[in-house]
Amino acid sequence: MEYTIKQVADIAGISTRTLRYYDQIALLKPASISEAGYRIYSDDEIDRLQQILLYRSLGMQLKQIQSILDNPRFHALTALEEHQQNLEAEKEKIEQLLITVKKTIQSKKGEIKMSAEEKFEGFKKERLNENEKLYGKEIREKYGKETIEKSNKKFMNLSQEDFQKMQEAENELFVRLDQLAQSKDLESQAAKEVYRLHKQWLSYTWPNYSAKAHRGLVQMYLADDRFAKYYNERAEKEVVSLLHDVVMKYAEDE
């Protein structure tokens, strides 16, 4: 079938202006241009637009989407299956947070009494699900399924106090990373604190800490852009290489 730009916009629920912009940046080109100069789209462009909007719903930037869709190895069915998995994970996260919110409302009304653990359970599961979605496969391959399951269990069993301490350690870690990014002095107190805080943060979830595993983890940070992205975006500067260097230096002393 053939569709005008207005028909495509109505079907997809987006503006014709958006479609013109997608054409301008070569993200979604029309199948042809009519003699009158109108953009004409086919079912192939409709399918591509669906993929674009699905990726956009996951928060991806247009350049990333274009890179994925234009990759010769891109496979539509595989991509849809990944979309399904991501949406199911998001659904589970929302459902868990809804449970926490509902319980909190009931608690405020005096209908039930929430334990300290219940108040934070939803947040812990949200964080666990996010980590699982981003890094689950890789960390299982590196450390083994049993180790990761034990780590997840330890995290879910954290008391309210330890959960807060873990978050505080992570926040302080980024303060120290910012200081280290300015000096880049691996002998400094800031560098020593980066190592101590990162080790402390890991120890809340790792069943058994080891310097060898710690060094292996930061090597993974450098090798995998997804790990680097978390730290660099949170710090608003490149800090992963510094974190790697600090751990490689001080974990040797364990």
- Give the pLDDT confidence of 211-242 residue by residue, as tens digits: 998 998 899 888 878 778 888 888 889 999 99
pLDDT tens digit sequence for 41-89: 999 999 999 999 988 887 788 998 998 899 888 777 777 777 787 777 6
Q: What angle do CA 87, 135, 82 make, to 5 degrees?
A: 30
Window from 16-20, 140-144, 164-168 with minimum mean pLDDT: 140-144
Do 162 and 151 sit in the same domain of this protein? no
pTM for this entry: 0.48
Do 46 and 129 sit in the same domain of this protein? no
Which of 69, 92, 111 represents a domain boundary (last residue)? Answer: 69
Do 65 and 34 sit in the same domain of this protein? yes
CB 251 within 8 A of CB 186: no
Do 170 and 253 sit in the same domain of this protein? yes
Do 176 and 254 sit in the same domain of this protein? yes
pLDDT (0 to 100) of residue 176: 94
Do 252 and 168 sit in the same domain of this protein? yes
| Cα(103)–Cα(98) distance, integer angstroms | 8
For residue 8, give the CATH number of its domain. Answer: 1.10.1660.10
Number of Cβ within a 10 Å radius of residue 176: 23
Q: DSSP of the chain, one letter per residue? A: --EEHHHHHHHHT--HHHHHHHHHTTSS--SEE-TTS-EEE-HHHHHHHHHHHHHHHTT--HHHHHHHHTSTT--HHHHHHHHHHHHHHHHHHHHHHHHHHHHHHHHHTTSS---HHHHHHHHHHHHHHHHHHHHHHHHHHHH-HHHHHHHHHHHHT--HHHHHHHHHHHHHHHHHHHHHHHH--TTSHHHHHHHHHHHHHHHTT-SS--HHHHHHHHHHHHH-HHHHHHHHHHHTS--HHHHHHHHHHHGGG-
The percentage of residues in the chain with a pLDDT greater than 70, rounded to a whole number, is: 83
Question: Given a cut of 80, is residue 119 above it in pLDDT?
Answer: no
How many domains does the chain divide into?
A: 3
pLDDT (0 to 100) of residue 25: 95
Which of 115, 131, 157 represents a domain boundary (last residue)? Answer: 157
pLDDT tens digit sequence for 153-191: 777 777 778 878 888 999 999 999 999 999 999 999 999
Do 109 and 144 sit in the same domain of this protein? yes
> Domain of 179?
158-254
Q: In angstroms, what CA-CA distances link 63 with 18, 69, 116, 231?
A: 15, 10, 44, 21
Do 212 and 246 sit in the same domain of this protein? yes
Do 107 and 63 sit in the same domain of this protein? no
| Cα(237)–Cα(243) distance, integer angstroms | 12
Which of 125, 157, 189 represents a domain boundary (last residue)? Answer: 157
Do 197 and 132 sit in the same domain of this protein? no
Do 174 and 250 sit in the same domain of this protein? yes
